[in-house]
Structure 1
Amino acid sequence: MFIRDVTFSSVPIVALLIIMLAGCSTQDQVSVADVELVKSLLTDTPQQSIMALDSVIKKQKYDGIQKGLMYFEQGKLWSKMHNSTKSIQSLESALEIFTSHEDKVYITKTHWLLGSENAYISNKEEAVEHLLKALSYSQELHNQTDEANTYSALAHTYFQYQDFNRSIEYTEKAIAIQKELQDSVGLSATYNNLAVIYRNIGNFPEAIEYNLRSLDLNLLLNDKNAIAKSYNNLGLLSEELGDVHEAVDYFLKAIKINYELGTLNENPLKNLGDLYLRTDDLENAQKYYEQALSISEQNEDLASQRDIYNILLNVALRQKDFERSIEYARLRDHYMRLQNKRDLQEKLELAENQYKLAAKEKELSLALEVNRREKIIFIVAIGLLLLLVLFWIQSVKNKKLQAEKEKMVLEQSVLRSQMNPHFIFNALSAIQNSLLDNKPIESATYLSRFARLIRQNFEFINKKYITLADEIELLKNYFSTQMIRFKDRFDYEINVDNLDEEDTEIPPMLLQPFAENAIEHGFKSKKEKGLIIINIKGEEERIIFEIIDNGIGFTPKENDGKTHSIDVFMKRLQLIGKGDERSVSINSSEAGTTVKFHLRR
């Protein structure tokens, strides 16, 4: 069944930022000229705008408040692209600069955005902390509009975590301010929010009351999009209360307005189709599902098209129209394959990354060749004495370039070792088998985890360091994917002691090769259930790692001409340059394998 179109409304971020721009002209604070400067750097797309801002920031042409504004704009752009991690990083850099210049207006805005982004990725504590700071600054600045918007954002955050009492409390505070300001637009959205809360706690009369208040304001403002959404919400509530005729009337009103406006909103159509399906009016159910399907096609929403065809298949089966059933089944499977294909296209990004690494390696090789030619020219032109000096200089350069080249080769090896072709082939084979076995839910679950694992590998491979929390999340996704593939033939434990996972940073994908060796080699011919235990402990200036498995053990291969994952791991530790490679110990027997090493902080 479809997700219903009852949403928690909030004032758009762009509108809030325009409102909050008042009073930004004091010395050492953001001025209109600063804002225009940053606007001049923006291009047609968010990606190009981010690159343009990043280029200016790296050139260090601008400093102080202007640089803070550039980070702030980057944070907004990353948010628009739904990359909350990078959005938060940029906004935190902006906040540091705004705080040093005591620009309270932009401090307020930045805290508000940080609260919204953290709420989006379910960081409740961080979200509430930033929003409360935004609230404090807006009250200090006597900006009631910002204060009401922040109360609404807090209400939304608590609503996400089903703390409905706190959500109602903050929503009512926002309503009180908006009434005082006679803010009809804000009141309409906030009344809708309160209706959503009451609907979630089962208080349908109150939900209808506030939806009607929101509708009255929307009618007064002649906001037809909002009117259509109010009618749709009222239709759902009427259906909950068992008033089918009134629900149908509301849905039809919403559909009519959307058609008049040319709005491609399929939700009222699907909701009406759901209602007719539940009341066994199959003919009308089919009619409105097909209209919703037409909008899904225009929106190129593959998942929605797949779901609608699945429902139409069930309708046709109930009507005993087997010819249409076959066609709907074919179309459902077609869009399911298209959706799967779209998800797997992320592999192309991984291949593109490999291509860039190869290009960088070639560039370094060319640089080495140029340096060798220069050495010959200096030998001929200057003589023996100068040659000795230049030879020493050139040797230093060659060593640096060679080190960079080795590092690039190593990164390629790591990339291949983290997501090797055998694992990808086996994973895709498992997906194919589940599709052939007609197990779409299992296939979708496996595909989602597999796609997420590829995304994480792609994201982390170019980073020098990631948080311990990110490393653990990657391991969990890897284990989950392998457990589906191997039908739960092994278990795992990850234990962390005396460390803050969010504040501790380590090189990316450090532990995955040992986990892979245990699964692919240690458990492959083992009849009993396997177990991998990973212990991570903080001790003074070191992080101690221990990987234990009960596999069949292994014997390291020497001089076979191949680069193994352990060789890559040792080389990575050597490149860090802290001598941690000397701490590595590997004990393997028929009872299992234990790997120990540490990293200096």
Structure 2
Amino acid sequence: MKYCFLSKVLIYAVLFFLLYSCTQSNVSQKEFTTSIDIADSLAQYNAIKGIQNLDSLKLNFPEITPEQEALLLFKKGEIYYINDLYVESILEHQKATELFAKQKDTYNKTRSLITLSAANLRLKNIEKAQEFALEALQNANLLEDKRLLAKANNQLFQLHFSLEDYPKAMEYIKKADRIFVDQKDTTSIIAIKGNIASIYLKLKEYNKALQTYQEALQLGQNSKSPQTIVSILNNIGYTYIETEKYATAATFLEGAIKLNQNIGAINGAPYKGLGYAYFVNNDFETAKLYYNEAFTIYQQNKNIPEQIQILDKLITIAIRGNNSEQALNYQLQRDQLQIDNQAKETESLLHFATVKYQAKEKEADLLYQKQLNKKNRLLYGSVLVALVLLLILVGSYLYITKLKAANRASQLEQSLLRVQMNPHFIFNTLAAIQNVTLDQDPIKSSNYIAKFSKLIRQNFDYVRKEEIALEQEISMIGNYIETQQLRFHNSFVYQLDLAKDQDIKSLKVPPMLLQPFLENAIEYGLKDKKSGGVLTLQIFKENNALCFVVTDNGIGRSHQAKEQKKSTELHATDIFIERLKLRKKGEEKTFKIEDLYNLEQQAVGTKVSFKIYFI
């Protein structure tokens, strides 16, 4: 009896222990899920605290299961992504994907694949982004999960949108939109509408874009994702900037900034947009404040192209404010960033077409795999391969044509630089500066070195632009003339006759138009005059044209022709005429070179004139 009683007690004790253990396990699982949800909600308003909360879960739950660890990594990756920390997001999601794969959790693995694709796309890793997106689409099809299908299609939209393949991008986003017609995921529906609007914006269909953004914003009032609303407000603001409604744009961009501040998020786009809105309205002080805010954020994000764009505006603001020292500092920053970014841009441009067709080829391969179980798979495969080859050939032809056009522009640009900054001019100028230095006049020497270096920098900076302000052209000419006066010991004077009603800050002209004719006047007209040389530049408006007249009282072309042999190379005049022809406004017909004579029919100078049309 004693042993029987002890046996019953032992059995009851074991059952109680097992029941207690199960209860504790269930409570721990419930607490873990609750903690995850709390961290997820907290991250919407404070990303750092959300991450800290997730990291502390391992301490609170020391016996965490692989399933829980995978979910933890997934949540951390999502928080990093929505706060633009893409590298950190990729690291967390890669770990999560591996754990989900081991557990055969295809659903959550697919969710991680979609974020991995999005983060890689943000970092311009196009091939990786495509690989993850296609795998996600394949998994979503196997699971027959509408929500995942919509998200995968949306991610493929993002991929093709970044490749500027807008018809294909619209095809994917429309699929996602159709899938979400009967869904209750407001945040996803808002994102899809925002993406559709972004295509309309690229196609310059502004009314459709604004209408779609407004629909998304209306849905966003009930959304629990403030980041989504920020994105919509920012996009609406930039759309109004495109339509030149700057006051309305500022209202939405200020709303985006305020909401970002409320949730502790960092985003430079609204500040950049506001900077531009105030810039075009000539409120340069306010524009400068917003541009500096945006620049600081883009520095933190290491977004070099955005930094360069902002520095361009800050340089303009400094020049208009007559703050040459600050403008020079900005220019030096910009030059360094441009050097760092140039290699990446060149590689990206050359690789762009190849990546685009590789994307089409891989998607075609996925379609081919789905048809493997059909009797006519060989036929479909042959047609597909032929189509891909045709696309590659057409794409290669278009790409080569584009490269040829770019090469022609580059050759013209290089020719212009060679004419503007020829070695003869550079060496003679340096020799003149050396003479000033040897005369023990360091201040004068320093001034000329500064002007000469600025002239070289202006030449290299302006040659890549289609148009610059007339004020910039005049400034560059002033530096050039002063450098030439140093070379020829001030044997001639320079006169600028500028009409008083000219707004030289707003008038735009092709860069480096005047320097070749001023150089010709000096080299072939005034160089041989020991004194009394006069070089005059007249600029005035005439109806819808800006007129330029360059006059010198030199020895004239007829005498110069006897002294100089004509070059068989491309002259500055030929480059000038070709540049005017590329503008397709008939301006080359206004170009004239006249020989000036006195009453005794002796050559007394040369006159060059031409016009630039505003329309």
TM-score by length of 2: 0.40
Larger Rg: 2
